[in-house]
Amino acid sequence: MAKKIAVLTSGGDAPGMNAAIRAVVRKTIFDGHEAYGVRYGYRGLAEGDIFRMEAADVSNLSARGGTVLYTARYPEFANEEGQLKAIEQLKRHDIDGLVVIGGDGSYRGALALARHGFLTVGIPGTIDNDIPGTDFTLGFDTACNTAIDALDKLRDTAKSHMRTFIVEVMGRNAGDIALWSGIGCGADQIIIPEKDFNMDDVIAQIDHGRERGKMHTMIVLAEGVMPAHEFAEAMSQYGEYHIRAVVIGHIQRGGAPSAKDRLLATAFGHRAVEMIEEGKSGICMGIRDNKLIYTPIEEALNSKGTDSNFNEYLYNLNNETSVWS
Ligand code: ADP
Ligand code: F6P
**CATH number of the CATH domain containing 216:** 3.40.50.460
Task: Note the pLDDT of residue 197.
Answer: 95
Same domain for 52 and 96: yes
Q: Which of 163-167, 212-216, 245-249, 252-256 has the lowest mean pLDDT?
A: 212-216
- State phi, psi for 239 to the nearest 5 degrees: 140, -170
Average pLDDT, the chain: 95
Same domain for 59 and 205: no
Residue nearest to atom 14 of ligand 1 (CA): 73
- Distance from the alpha carbon of residue 100 to the mean position of ligand 2, in angstroms: 18
The string of pLDDT tens digits covering residues 261-272 is: 999 999 999 999
- In the predicted model, is pLDDT for residue 306 greater than 60? no
Q: Rounded to the nearest 10 degrees, what angle do helices 312-322 and 176-184 cross at? A: 30
311: in domain: no
297: in domain: yes
Quick one: pLDDT band at residue 120, thresholds 50, 70, 90? very high
Same domain for 262 and 250: no
- Distance from the alpha carbon of residue 69 to the mean position of ligand 2, in angstroms: 18
Residue nearest to atom 16 of ligand 2 (CA): 250
222: in domain: yes
Q: Are 235 and 199 in contact (CB under 8 A)?
A: yes
Q: What is the mean pLDDT of residues 133-160?
A: 97
Looking at residue 248, the DSSP 8-state letter turns out to be -
Q: What is the mean pLDDT of residues 221-235?
A: 98
**Cβ burial 253-284 (10 Å sphere, 16+ → b, else e):** bbbebbebbbbbbbbbbbbbbebbbeebbbbb
Q: How far apart are CA 91 and CA 18, in angstroms?
A: 25
Same domain for 58 and 190: no
Same domain for 130 and 268: yes
- In the predicted model, is pLDDT for residue 70 greater than 60? yes
Task: Note the pLDDT of residue 1.
Answer: 83
Same domain for 261 and 246: no
Map residue 5 onto helix, strand or coil.
strand
Task: Note the pLDDT of residue 311.
Answer: 80
Same domain for 16 and 121: yes
Q: Are 84 and 22 in contact (CB under 8 A)?
A: no
Nearest ligand, CA 253: 2
Task: Note the pLDDT of residue 310.
Answer: 63
Q: Are 64 and 256 in contact (CB under 8 A)?
A: yes
Residues 6+ apart with CB under 8 A from 234: 199
- In the predicted model, is pLDDT for residue 309 greater than 60? no
Same domain for 129 and 15: yes
- In the predicted model, is pLDDT for residue 190 greater than 70? yes
Q: How far apart are CA 106 and CA 20, in angstroms?
A: 15
254, 270, 292 - which closes a domain: 254
Same domain for 171 and 133: no
Helix residue spans in 93-218 (DSSP H): 104-115, 140-161, 176-184, 199-211
Same domain for 189 and 157: yes
> pTM of this prediction?
0.96
Asked whether residue 171 is marked as a ligand-binding residue, the answer is yes
- Distance from the alpha carbon of residue 150 to the mean position of ligand 1, in angstroms: 30
Residue nearest to atom 8 of ligand 1 (CA): 11
Asked whether residue 155 is marked as a ligand-binding residue, the answer is yes
100: in domain: yes
Q: How far apart are CA 233 and CA 243, in angstroms?
A: 9
Task: Note the pLDDT of residue 289.
Answer: 92
312: in domain: no
Residues 6+ apart with CB under 8 A from 115: 282
- Distance from the alpha carbon of residue 281 to the mean position of ligand 2, in angstroms: 28
239, 254, 269 - which closes a domain: 254
314: in domain: no
Site to probe by mutation for ligand 2, drawn from 13, 140, 172, 223 as the one with most ligand atoms within 8 Å of Cβ, is 172
Same domain for 168 and 65: no
Share of the chain above pLDDT 90, in %: 93
Q: Which residues are catalytic?
A: 128
Same domain for 266 and 120: yes
Ligand 2 pocket, residues with Cβ under 6 angstroms: 12, 103, 126-128, 170-172, 223, 253
Q: What is the mean pLDDT of residues 76-97?
A: 98
Count how many domains the chain has.
2
Asked whether residue 43 is marked as a ligand-binding residue, the answer is no
Domain that holds residue 250: 143-254
- In the predicted model, is pLDDT for residue 305 greater than 70? no
Q: 129 CB less than 6 Å from ligand 1?
A: no
319: in domain: no
Nearest ligand, CA 11: 1
Task: Note the pLDDT of residue 323.
Answer: 79
- Distance from the alpha carbon of residue 297 to the mean position of ligand 1, in angstroms: 13
Site to probe by mutation for ligand 2, drawn from 101, 127, 144, 179 as the one with most ligand atoms within 8 Å of Cβ, is 127
Task: Note the pLDDT of residue 325.
Answer: 64
Q: How far apart are CA 256 and CA 63, in angstroms?
A: 5
The string of pLDDT tens digits covering residues 4-58 is: 999 999 999 999 999 999 999 999 999 999 999 999 999 999 999 999 999 999 9
53: in domain: yes
Going through the chain in order, the beta strands assigned E by DSSP cover 4-9, 34-38, 50-53, 97-102, 119-124, 164-169, 189-191, 217-222, 243-247, 283-288, 291-296
254, 289, 313 - which closes a domain: 254
Nearest ligand, CA 81: 1
Task: Note the pLDDT of residue 95.
Answer: 98
